Amino acid sequence: MNRYFNRELSWLKFNERVLEQATDSSMPILDRLKFVSIFSSNLDEFFMVRVASIKELMIAGYSVEDDSGYFPDEVFEKISENVSMLLKRQHEITRECVAELEDKGIRILRREDFKGDTAQELKEYFDSSVFPVLTPMAVDFGRPFPFVSNKTLNIVSKLSIDDNLKLAIVEVPDVLDRFIKLERAKETTYVLLEDVIVHFIEEIYMGQKVLANSVFRVTRDADLNIMEDDADDLLMVIEEAVKKRRWGDAIRLEIEEGADSWIESELEKIFKIGGNQLYRICGMLDLAGWFSFKPPKRIKGLKGKAYVPRTLPFMSGKNVFKTIREGDVFIHNPYDSFDFVVDFIKKASMDPSVLAIKQTLYRVSGDSEIINALEDAADRGKQVTALVELMARFDEENNINWAKKLEKKGVHVIYGIYGLKTHSKITLVVRRESKKIKRYVHLGTGNYNDVTAKLYTDMHYLTCREDIGTDATIFFNMVSGFSSKMTTQHLSVSPYTLREDFYKLIDREIKHVKEGNRGLMIAKMNSLVDKGIVDKLYEASNAGVEIKLIVRGICTLVPGVAGMSENITVKSIIGEFLEHSRIYYFYNNHHPKIYLSSADWMTRNLDRRIELLFPIADKKIAERIHLILELYLKDNSRSWKLMAGGEYKRIGKSGKRRICAHETLKNLIYENNDEFIKRLKGII
Amino acid sequence: MNSIYAAIDVGSNTLKLKIVQYSENGISVLDDISKGVKIGEDVFAKGNIEHETVKEIVEIMIRFKQVMDSYKVDMYRAFATGAMRTAENNLNVIEIVLMRSGIKIEIIEDTMEKFLTYKSMRDNIDDYRKIRESSILVELNSGSCDVSIYSGNKLVFNEEFTLGTLVLKNIMQDIEDMTINYPKVIAELIESRTCHMWRLIEKRRIRNFLMLGGETTILKNSLFCGLDTISRQDFENVHRRIFSDQLCFRKEIEEYGMDWYEFVACILVYQVFLKLVDTESMIFPAINLRDGMIAEMIEEDYCLARYKVFNNDVISLARNASARYKSCSRHCREVEKNGIKIMKELKKHFSFDERDELLLRLAAILHEIGKFTRAKNYLAASFHKIRNLSIMGTNYHEMMLVAHMCRMLTDMQLSRGSIERLSQSDRNRILKLSSILSIADALDKSKKQKIKIEKIIVTDEKLKIIASKSMDATLEEWNLGNRAKEFVKTFGLVPELIEAGYDE
């Protein structure tokens, strides 16, 4: 047995778990389709980044076995096999969902059913709305194959011109709705835009013979390879690279099953892809399109009620700074409102006693109140420093815009340390209170993004403890290049001290066990990939430390193997909210220590990113977080157990009381940490 | 009352800013930032600071100003040392920085730099008293090696040697082709240049060895895991490897980013002094100029006695210099004491600051050192000796003033050359201080401490010195009469010695 699972195949297993959410018949149909969509958009990103990098290795002739014992071409082949199976499963599930939609009175009509009145209505729609925005392009010697943008839907046609076969394509315009509602149909009926175009394709290539058509989609390499060494102006270089992303090498070609074989082989040649990069799709392409499906609101029961985060008494009315002075503040979103964090920054921007605000920004939402607050603070003459990470994957463009906007307003915008992505989430507010300087710090596991804060589970800690304030100052000085050493005392910072600190914490548990005491760790994260950490966990397991891991996504650690990892269990929770918080608990021989972090146990987090691990000094908050971990461990509703063979087994109720962590936390009634602890203890 | 202070250190390779908050609970650091800028490289290669480097300095200083503003700093100092001090265009650079950032940089001399750096010991080393009780501090920089000795809570010795790492590196590279054992030759050279003071160090039975200077940080972090204290054994192992494992060790050292020759120089210098000391450990003390600057500002604002013991080091060093030149210590102390008493009373009517008092005391302590060379016209000899003395905590200009004060002790005239070189305010300052010194000296002309000042009264026309006498003081009275004329010219007061009990 291998010591490590393959990370790519482990990721596919994670996406499979996401897809399986869509089979939960207790869930409203649109929520189920949301998981179908998430599966697709996840897969797109996987191809654009991970599969693209494996392809690059293969092209470069890199043929070295990875830790899981696979060569790059073997992994590529395995991915192809697995994805094909998963796609099959996805379409089965989608068909079930579409059937359920029909039960609810919503029909999705495909092009083979366009007849009679329907065809007439669609003809009018095509002529008035679709045809004017289409740009068909033929392919011949004078006109090489037209450029096909990443992830766009296109229709390829086989034309016969003067007895010669020609290809022509037309892009499905994204300015129009993908799902078109038929106005004259008796039932609520939708058709797909690409079907409408295919149906009337002859009108586009008028006078030419259209022999065959197919919808297809290309996924391209979208990883940004930026040589920062040559970058005089990083902002400009990234801007250029983002523009070029649309033209990366083709990594995957999706085409409708049953497409003309000549078309298939021509596309394979044009996009320079092999057979294991071609995916024949039985059904609708780009199922992420379900995100945009908005049936009439009058049809009830299609969607679950949107959850409204709770506002706790301390969040309203009082001065945020006074609240934090009275005691550290803990927020667990989406259950607790993220507004308090936004408010903290907004109030800081307006408060005349605030002298400076420093903040890291990784991903922010569209019309971010936080960005507005920072601009406002700069307007009011405060010293505002924003550390914007330009290379936040797929948010580069967004972040470039913020960076420019903030700079214009006089915010001191910095782009972090060469070669390291700044992924940490920290804000420092410097305030002068009765002639003394007081520092307020926010530390989080998730982004300053009010939109994702309603969907992701993240934890936030606000404090004005002097030692944390000092460390926050040192941190900002370091990342802004005004200090050469990370000399923080309480905050662990990667890539400087974080890895070593994790090792020390695990070693301490080993030591406790060796001294005849209990050793226990509970760690929750998004992914566990780092070989060093995995080996350290094996060492701890062998020493007798109990290790309970809650890993949402990739996990390369092999649990439950005698002599290697018999004391390690791994579970994964996939549910209504995306598990995003990183929590690390160490039993420490009856003196538990709990830490939150922006970092997963991934090599990139520990070695190539600026990340933070921070201790929870407040005993009540620490107890609350520990109880949340216990709740996650007890969840038997949305949990999967990783087995030694690499498969994930759904944790069933097996006669036990059903416990759903998300539901429990949504419904718990509490006004403060004490009540939370008391009530949750009563449940678990 | 001020409470937030900022100190900027414009060094040869780095600009550093430290901001602290002072309250009844002590000092808490609010910010401590630094940015590298190669001022030294420009200055040592071309003599001045290049335009691009000036631009960099300005940008950093603008940022520093923003950071200072973000804490609403109440008081700041920006001191330039090393390269900026040497740069031909230093005044232009200072002007540009002031115009662009609003920060005023002052250039300080190395004696002042050292004084402030040592002063920071008070706030940075928990058991600083232990250090002051018995320590040797060896500060190694590229151009020189500075050795100080603390004994019995006083700084008793401070001497600079031309044994900088860069200096020794050049010599090593010169002799490398002549011998395979160049470290041994360099060790010999260091010994020959320092052997005259070995006895002095050994005699004091020093208990602590402190390593300071530009090279120590990298040495500490790379070879000694960043520890503040290392064992003698560990250090000696490193020293041994220079001789026994040169090839491998050189590779290792260069991998740490250190220059091999400078590293060797550093270890050899420390080792020469370590041999004279019986200590089992060696310390990398966490002291720096910025903390010393902050200490000065806090002291200025709060009139604290917190740093008194460090301020007294200036006097302690002067006394040692005076003793080395065989001055009559009892006479010097008497002059110092009398001078302070007179100044204290005059302060009520004339303006004198703390620095004036320090200069007066230094002049009293040092005025006789010229006698060591010659008896005739010894004050002129004292003048030359004092102006060439560098005493930590004073600058060259101040020592020049002290030298003038001593020279004018008997002849209250400044030479034509001095008049041309000195500013009007300096001339006035010298006249005032030397007039006091002259009266104080006259009161112990016989060097027998016959007169004990009981009280001093300043009236509209007189400076009445009410004193008791232990024996006949005709010599003193006669001498006072001779010097009275110049005192009257300076202060408009006639000094008059009145026997206690007859002052009604």
d(CA B255, CA B232): 24
CA distances in angstroms from B471 to A152, B444, B450, B498, listed in the order given? 112, 12, 6, 15
Structure tokens at B325: 């030149």
> Is A660 in contact with A637 (CB distance < 8 Å)?
yes
Examine the pLDDT at A402 and tell me if it is beyond 60: yes
Q: Are B133 and B264 part of one and the same domain?
A: yes
Which positions in chain B touch A412 (Cβ < 8 Å)? 63, 66
Pair B255, B334 in one domain: no
Instruction: Decide if pLDDT at A229 tops 50.
Output: no
- Which chain B residue shows the shortest CA-CA distance from A354? B70
Give tens-digit pLDDT for B313-326.
899 999 989 998 99
Residue partners of A598: CB distance under 8 A and separation at least 6: A423, A424, A425, A444, A445, A446, A582, A605, A611, A612
B231 shares its domain with B358: no
Tokens 């160490």 identify what position? A586
Within a domain: residue A304?
A: no
C-alpha span between A416 and B356 (Å, rounded) = 50
Shared-domain flag, residues A517 and A632:
yes
**Nearest residue on chain A to B36, judged by CA atoms?**
A482
Which of A8, A32, A6, A31 is CA-nearest to residue A20? A32
Does B318 share its domain with B222? no
Q: Encoding tokens for residue A81?
A: 């096999």
Q: Is the pLDDT of residue B420 over 80?
A: no
Q: Quote the minimal CA–CA distance from B148 to chain A in Å.
A: 29
The set of catalytic residues of A is 423
A521 close to A545: Cβ distance less than 8 angstroms? yes
Tokens of A216: 């297809």
Cα–Cα separations (whole angstroms), residue A31 to A20, A270, A301, A536, B193? 12, 38, 10, 40, 85
Among candidate residues B458, B70, B120, B173, the one with its CA nearest the CA of residue A381 = B70
Q: Does residue A258 lie within any of the structural domains?
A: no
Residue type, B342: I
B292 domain-assigned: no
Domain CATH for A52: 1.20.58.310
Number of domains in chain A: 4
Given a contact cutoff of 8 angstroms between Cβ atoms, the answer to whether A484 and B34 are in contact is: yes
Structure-block tokens of residue B470 = 């232990």
A436-453 pLDDT, tens digit per residue, is 899 999 999 998 888 899
Are B4 and A466 an interchain contact pair (Cβ–Cβ within 8 Å)? Answer: no
Whether A271 is in a domain gets the answer: no
* Distance from the first to the final alpha carbon of chain B: 44
- Same domain flag for B265 and B358: no
Q: Do B32 and A477 lie within an 8 Å CB cutoff?
A: yes
Q: Quick one: angle between helices B308-324 and B354-366, nearest 10?
A: 20
> Which of A187-221 are b and which e, b meaning 16 or more Cβ less than 10 Å from the residue's Cβ?
ebbbbbbbbbbbbbbeebbeebebeebbbbbbbbb
Same-domain pairing of A428 and A417: yes
- Which of B36, B63, B71 lies closest to A430 in CB terms? B71
In a domain, residue B298? The reply is: no
CA angle, B316 then B318 then B322, to 5°: 115
Q: In whole angstroms, what is the distance from residue B217 CA to residue B287 CA?
A: 12
Number of domain units in chain B: 3
Query: Mapping DSSP to helix (H, G, I), strand (E, B) and coil, where does residue A148 land?
Result: coil
Same domain? For B230 and B262 the reply is: yes
Task: Return the H-helix or E-strand segment holding B265.
Answer: helix B260-274
Is residue A49 within 8 Å of residue A223, measured between CB atoms? yes
Domain CATH for B13: 3.30.420.40
**Is there a single domain that holds both residue A646 and residue A528?**
yes
Q: Both A363 and A497 in a single domain?
A: no
- Radius of gyration for the alpha carbons in chain B, expressed in angstroms and rounded: 25
| A521 and A647 assigned to the same domain | yes
Chain B residues with at least one Cβ partner in A under 8 Å: 3-4, 21, 23, 28-36, 63, 66-67, 69-72
In 10 A of CB A77, how many CB atoms? 13
> What are the residue ranges of helices labelled H in B71-211?
82-86, 90-101, 110-119, 121-124, 128-133, 165-175, 182-194, 198-203
In a domain, B50, yes or no: yes
Size of the A and B interface in Cβ pairs below 8 Å: 45
Same domain, A116 and A235: yes
Q: Could you tell me the CATH number of the domain that includes residue B405? A: 1.10.3210.10
Mean pLDDT of all residues in B13-38: 90
- Which residues 6+ apart lie within 8 Å of B66 measured at CB? A383, A412
DSSP B491: H
Mutation target to probe the B interface, by most B beta carbons within 10 A, among A437, A480, A486 is A437
Distance between CA atoms of B234 and B283, rounded to whole angstroms? 12
Asked whether the beta carbons of residue B30 and residue A437 sit closer than 8 angstroms, the reply is yes
- Selecting from B21, B33, B63 the residue whose C-beta is nearest the C-beta of A483 gives B33
CA distance B283 to B126: 13
Q: Is residue B296 part of a domain?
A: no
The 10 Å Cβ neighbour count of residue B226 is 12
Does A481 share its domain with A529? no
Shortest Cα–Cα distance, B277 to chain A (Å): 32
10 Å Cβ neighbour count for A144? 9
Residue A437 is nearest to which of B4, B32, B66, comparing CB atoms? B4
Secondary structure of A399-413 as H, E, C letters: HHHHHHHHHHCCCEE
Higher local confidence (pLDDT), B141 or B188 = B188
Give A331-383 as a DSSP string: EEETTB-THHHHHHHHHHHH-TTEEEEEEEES---TT-HHHHHHHHHHHTT-E
Q: Report percent pLDDT > 70 for chain A.
A: 94
Strands A593-597 and A582-586 come out as: antiparallel
Check which CATH number belongs to the domain holding A669 and give it.
3.30.870.10
Q: Nearest-CA distance from A487 to chain B in Å?
A: 11
Q: Is the pLDDT of residue A231 over 60?
A: no
Does a structural domain hold residue A272? Answer: no
* A138-142, A395-399, A422-426: least confident range: A138-142
Domain end (from B78, B113, B148): B113
A543/A670 same-domain check? yes
Looking at every residue in chain A, the average pLDDT score rounds to: 91
Q: Tokens in use for A10?
A: 């482990």
pLDDT for B418 beyond 80:
no
Contact at CB, A356 and B4, closer than 8 angstroms: no
pLDDT for A59? 86
pLDDT of residue A465: 96
By C-alpha distance, the chain B residue nearest A382 is B70
**pLDDT tens digits along B223-245:** 888 888 999 999 999 999 999 88
Nearest CA to CA, how far is B34 from chain A (Å)? 5
* pLDDT at residue number A179: 96
Task: Specify whether B149 is located in the same domain as B254.
Answer: yes
- Residues A636-657 have pLDDT tens digits of 999 999 999 999 999 986 677 8
B30, B35, B70: residue with CB nearest A383: B70
Q: Choose the final residue of a domain: A103, A118, A136.
A: A103
Query: Is residue A234 pLDDT above 70, yes or no?
Result: no
Residues B121-130 have a mean pLDDT of 84
Nearest-neighbour CA in chain B from A408: distance (Å): 17
Instruction: For residue A96, tell me if it sits in a domain.
Output: yes
Domain that residue B273 falls in: 126-283
Nearest CA in chain B to A429: B70
A330/A476 same-domain check: yes
Q: CB B66 to CB A437 under 8 A?
A: no
Give the domain-ending residue among A293, A326, A360: A293
> What is the tally of helices (H) and strands (E) in chain B?
23, 14
Q: Over the stretch A548-580, which tens digit does the pLDDT of each residue have?
A: 999 999 999 999 999 999 999 999 999 999 999
Domain assignment of residue B327, yes or no:
yes
Count of CB atoms situated within 10 Å of the CB of B480: 22
HSE toward the beta carbon, residue A547, CA cutoff 13 A: 31
pLDDT above 50 (res A106): yes
3-state secondary structure B332-401: HHHHHHHHHHHHHHHCCCCCCCHHHHHHHHHHHHHCCHHHHCCCCCHHHHHHHHHHCCCCCCCCHHHHHH
d(CA B3, CA A679): 47
Q: Rounded to whole angstroms, how far apart are CA atoms A666 and A638?
A: 14
Residue A190 has pLDDT above 90, yes or no: yes
Query: Which positions ≥6 away from B255 have C-beta within 8 Å?
Result: none
B238: which residues sit within 8 A by CB, 6+ positions away? B223, B267
Structural domain that includes position A180: 105-248+288-293
| B69/A355 Cβ within 8 A | yes
Whether residues A163 and A97 share a domain: the answer is no
Q: Are residues B107 and B132 in the same domain?
A: no
Of B29, B34, B67, the CB nearest to A470: B29
Q: Which structure tokens are listed for B281?
A: 């450990």
Query: Is residue B260 in a domain?
Result: yes
Partners of A432 on chain B (C-beta within 8 Å) are: 71-72
What three-state secondary structure class fits B23? strand
β-pair type (B105-107, B75-80) = parallel
Query: How many helices and strands (H and E) does chain A possess?
Result: 20, 27
Chain A residues in contact with chain B using a Cβ-Cβ cutoff of 8 Å? 355-356, 382-383, 412, 430, 432, 435-437, 466, 470, 473-474, 477, 481-484
Answer yes or no: do A437 and B21 touch at CB < 8 A.
yes
Q: Using CB atoms, which residue from B28, B33, B70 is nearest to A356?
A: B70
* pLDDT given at position A233: 61
Is the pLDDT at A141 greater than 70? The verdict is no
* Domain assignment of residue B384, yes or no: yes
* Pair (B262, B325) in one structural domain: no
Q: Please report where in the chains the tokens 């990113």 appear, as a residue.
A: A609
CATH at A122: 3.30.1840.10
Report the chain A residue with the minimal C-alpha distance to residue B62.
Answer: A412
CATH number of the domain residue B234 falls in = 3.30.420.150
B319/B416 same-domain check: yes
Compute the distance between CA of residue A618 and CA of residue A606 in angstroms, rounded to an integer.
Answer: 26
Query: In terms of CA atoms, which chain B residue is nearest residue A432?
Result: B71
Q: Helices (DSSP H) in A155-219: which residue ranges?
A: 193-199, 201-204
Joined tokens for residue B20: 């602290």
Query: Token pair for residue A407?
Result: 């700079």
Position B387 in a domain: yes
Asked if residue A435 and residue A470 are part of one domain, the reply reads: yes
Q: Residue range A480-508: average pLDDT?
A: 91
How many whole angstroms separate alpha carbon A425 and alpha carbon A444? Answer: 5
Domain boundary at B63, B88, B113, which?
A: B113
Q: Is position A273 within any domain?
A: no
**Are residues B434 and B318 part of one domain?**
yes
Backbone angles phi, psi at A572, to 5 degrees: -130, 135
Same structural domain, A123 and A146 = yes
Alpha-carbon distance B71 to nearest alpha carbon in chain A (angstroms): 6
Residues B444 and B332 reside in one and the same domain: yes
User: Which residue, B86, B113, B140, sits at the end of a domain?
Assistant: B113
